[in-house]
Structure 1
Amino acid sequence: MNDLAAVRDRLSAAVSAGMPSALADLSRLVACRSVFDARIEDPAECVRAAELVADLVRAAGVPAAVLPASDGSLAVCGRVPLPGAPRVLLYTHHDVVPVGDVEAWTSDPWTLTARDGRLFGRGAADCKGNLVATLLALTAVREVCGSWPVEVAVVIEGSEEQSTGGMAKLAAAQPDLVSADVIVMADTGNIEAGLPTLTTSLRGTGSVRITVRTMDHAAHSGMFGGAAPDALQALLTTLASLRSPSGETTIDGLDAGGVWEGAAYDEQRFLSDAALLPGVGPLGEGAIGDLLWARPAATVLAIDAPPTARVTAAVQGEASAIVNLRVPATMDPAAAQHLLVEHLRRHTPYGLVEIEPLTLGRGFAAVTDGPAYDAMREAMRAAYGREPVTTGQGGSIPLTVALADLLPQAEIMLLGVEEPASRIHATDESVDPAEIERLALALALFLAGLPNFC
């Protein structure tokens, strides 16, 4: 059973045979409204999800416990020791983002619904599809090999989408839960369906709130407009300074010349993935990958100003905005955020300016030349029938950085069932069942073959 090629067919058959059960489990998981926010969904739904996940992990052969984290979330953790063997930590999460406007969904977001060859429902891809693929892989290896040739640990977080840090604090307090030589984080996906992709870079992030004040109250535009200092106009001028005429982010002192070394992002595919309207093109003058993963990007997330539905003829005395900054994994987000603050101050033409840093998160850059990466690339090549590629991701997965700090020698890889058509975090989220099956086979081949590489 040591030859990866010799076991591929048996593992493939086991994964295929397990798919109906895995999809039934996915249906039960999607039915749990596990949004970790009591203002939006009943907290009992997160408890229900955690208990169901624990049952599924135990059924896959890993003794699991539901552990409370400091933020009030519930994590499912388990381990099957195998002294002397490579230690593999398998990570994903059972919480989901809110569904938003239910009426905007084509079908009930809490009912897994088959349509056009895909399965629709909140969390179908992010991240409950990744969860069932992981458990299917564990089950297949145990069935074919009799036992796992590696030490297996499982961590399934309950508050990843809220970034409240519960699992990171739990891991720091109980490092035995996450101790590993290899960490496989199933929380990303492929750049296109069927193309095996390893995410090797996560951007760092920081956001600030800028407020411009010029008058104690708004003033009639007919009586004072032209001379009265307009706070909203000052703010808009400031925000406009964050972009060059071509649309690239321009923050004084911040390097904007990085080049992405991973897989290229085809411009036509980007137009489709980002749903750009006809006649609208991407910003900037570099390659898409450069702009997304190798250079900083400042985005105005929100502005506090009078809505057009309640317009009055008035010059505004106060206006504010939230600016989010994403930076390449190798860039210090704290230093970049400081430069953003100074830039905003410098480019506000008039008024009293207050700038408050809000969030800050480090990026992650994987070290990809270790034996586990070799094993995963080989497993993905066999499972997908295509050469694996690497990509970056603009979002952050906070636990990734925490685990890299706790386990600096561990190889950390990010992968998953998500792909552009999945529309994660949006209405009509879905997953391609074939992606679940391919990922499960890749993970099974990886677990079965890893000892050959270590």
Structure 2
Amino acid sequence: MDNAVMRQTVRDRWARDALASLSGFVEIPALSPAFDADWAAAGRLHAAVDHVRRYLADRPIAGASTDVVELPGRTPVLLLDVPARDATTDETVVVYGHLDKQPAAGAWSPGLGPWTPVVKDERLYGRGAGDDGYAGYAAATALEALHAAGGRHARTVVLLETGEESGSPDLDAYLSHLGPRLGKVGLVVCLDTSGADYERLWLATSLRGIAFLDVTVRVLTAGVHSGHASGLVPSSFRILRELLDRIEDPRSGRFKLPELTVAVPPDRLAEVRVAAAEGFLTPQLPLVEGMRYATDDIVELTLANTWRTTLSVTGADGLPPLLDAGNVLRPYTSLKLSFRLPPTVDAGAALRAVEKTLTTDVPFGAQVEIARAEAADGWNSPPRAAWLESTLDAVSADVFGKPWRALGLGGTIPFLGMFGRAYPDAQFVVTGPRGPGNNAHVPDEWLHLEQTERVTEAVARILHAHATAGRAGEGD
């Protein structure tokens, strides 16, 4: 394989065709169904799919075909199916991305807008540029570059869904439906995460799960003057506070339910220590003056964000605004509780344990109601095969000039858990060109164009290594 031809092909495609079409994709307000209940009638998700499909169909990739699959009542999926090229493995590679978007989320800077593509300072601004419109273009460009350079690849299917920003509610159904068509999947490349800088290849190796619910504690059928009732009836807030203390120690942050805790795997702990030693894990958050982080130990701080359960109260009801609050013993207090869970915790079991704790032996016989309870598992990457480990080392040296690094992420991306369950024996490469300050989900989202080219070349090199080495650890 001619690596120089590959690199030049990647640069040429991104500089011309891919960037132009991705800019057109930015113009489509293809909101995810969670933000557009009338998405089917509005047609914007379908417009985004059609826009990218036309680009993919025009690529000069021998034998490639495109297909739009749409199960009844579900958001569409776009496929690019490319037959194997001189591969020594019969495995299929799945490259994942998504085409749905977050809303504008507020005012953008002057000259920028969510649906107005702007190229400035080697960045493409606009909603969906970095999250996650680039993915399909990067995958197609990697395949084009492989063909131009005489490289190899196994059968590769690029799968672009349209519900990721809503939690991928349809993806499990599509993976089941497409299972026979995809065959034996040996490598999954997910292009939808970020790293700690724009100078090296970053792999995400874990994501936390999540459980959330609304909990209401009722003590009265109607509010009563606090001078008449306080002291006679415990406040709903006091009872709710006591219930939460059964789950989390408010001073240490330690969680008391065994269903919410796990031991950190040694390989994940080693990754954190390496990144901490190199200074990548120093948090940059807008703390108020005088506020400290939960600990001064950067390794423990990172583990708290990636491998420990955390509880956030993200909403409340039953509490009037301060200016309207009178001397009343309120009848109820409602809180929305959000638990970020360690990657290997059984999210369903964790949620059931929380619900049981909140509703058993309630102080003073108060009424507790649980509503809108949901959970999603996290994901922990399987051990890397020898061929992938050596390929990452070589690609990082040749393409980035610096060693690759791996990190767990504190957020929750349900699709990775779905892929992990569907393909438990596959190798995973979870990466992307996003990094610090890219503003996904908030105003001024942008895509780092040079890093996107490098990640695209890295993906091409990984596809070639998989085709020539497979799982035997041998290769060109």
- Give TM-score, length-normalised by structure 1: 0.89
SS at structure 2 position matched to 1:209: strand
Q: 2:474 maps to what in 1?
A: none
Residues 1:142 and 1:302: Cα distance change in structure 2 (over 3 Å): same
Q: How does 1:430-441 map to 2 (within 5 A)?
A: 430-441=446-457
User: RMSD in angstroms over aligned alpha carbons?
Assistant: 2.8
Q: 2:19 maps to what in 1?
A: 23
Distance 2:280 2:110 in 1: 24
Q: How does 1:26-425 map to 2 (within 5 A)?
A: 26-37=22-33, 38-39=36-37, 43-60=42-59, 61=61, 62-82=64-84, 85=89, 86-102=91-107, 107-145=112-150, 148-179=152-183, 180-239=185-244, 243-246=248-251, 248-254=253-259, 256=261, 258-259=263-264, 260-261=268-269, 262-264=271-273, 266=276, 272-284=283-295, 287-304=300-317, 305-308=319-322, 310-345=324-359, 349-350=363-364, 351-356=366-371, 358-371=373-386, 373-374=388-389, 375-425=391-441
Q: 1:8 maps to what in 2?
A: 3
> Once the 2 structures are TM-superposed, how far is the Cα of residue 57 of structure 1 from its aligned partner?
2.1
> Once the 2 structures are TM-superposed, how far is the Cα of residue 357 of structure 1 from its aligned partner?
6.2
- Note if contact 1:72-1:166 (Cα within 8 Å) is conserved in structure 2: yes
Describe the superposition over 1:59-110 as per-residue Cα deviations: whole angstroms up to 9, x where unpaired: 3333111111344311101322338534211111011112222467872111
- Structure 1: where are the runs of 5+ without partners? 2-6
> Once the 2 structures are TM-superposed, how far is the Cα of residue 233 of structure 1 from its aligned partner?
4.0
Residues 1:148 and 1:53: Cα distance change in structure 2 (over 3 Å): farther
Q: Which moved more, 1:400-409 or 1:190-199?
A: 400-409
> Once the 2 structures are TM-superposed, how far is the Cα of residue 252 of structure 1 from its aligned partner?
3.4
- Note if contact 1:40-1:98 (Cα within 8 Å) is conserved in structure 2: no
- Note if contact 1:242-1:298 (Cα within 8 Å) is conserved in structure 2: no
The letter for the 2-side match of 1:175 is: G
> Once the 2 structures are TM-superposed, how far is the Cα of residue 415 of structure 1 from its aligned partner?
0.7
Q: 2:473 maps to what in 1?
A: none
Q: How many residues align?
A: 448
Q: Percent identity?
A: 21
> Once the 2 structures are TM-superposed, how far is the Cα of residue 361 of structure 1 from its aligned partner?
1.3
- Give TM-score, length-normalised by structure 2: 0.85
Distance 1:128 1:119 in 2: 11
Residues 1:11 and 1:214: Cα distance change in structure 2 (over 3 Å): same
Residues 1:446 and 1:269: Cα distance change in structure 2 (over 3 Å): closer
- Note if contact 1:363-1:401 (Cα within 8 Å) is conserved in structure 2: yes
> Once the 2 structures are TM-superposed, how far is the Cα of residue 199 of structure 1 from its aligned partner?
0.9
- Note if contact 1:120-1:428 (Cα within 8 Å) is conserved in structure 2: yes
Distance 1:273 1:178 in 2: 42
Distance 2:97 2:333 in 1: 40
> Once the 2 structures are TM-superposed, how far is the Cα of residue 318 of structure 1 from its aligned partner?
1.2
- Note if contact 2:204-2:406 (Cα within 8 Å) is conserved in structure 1: yes
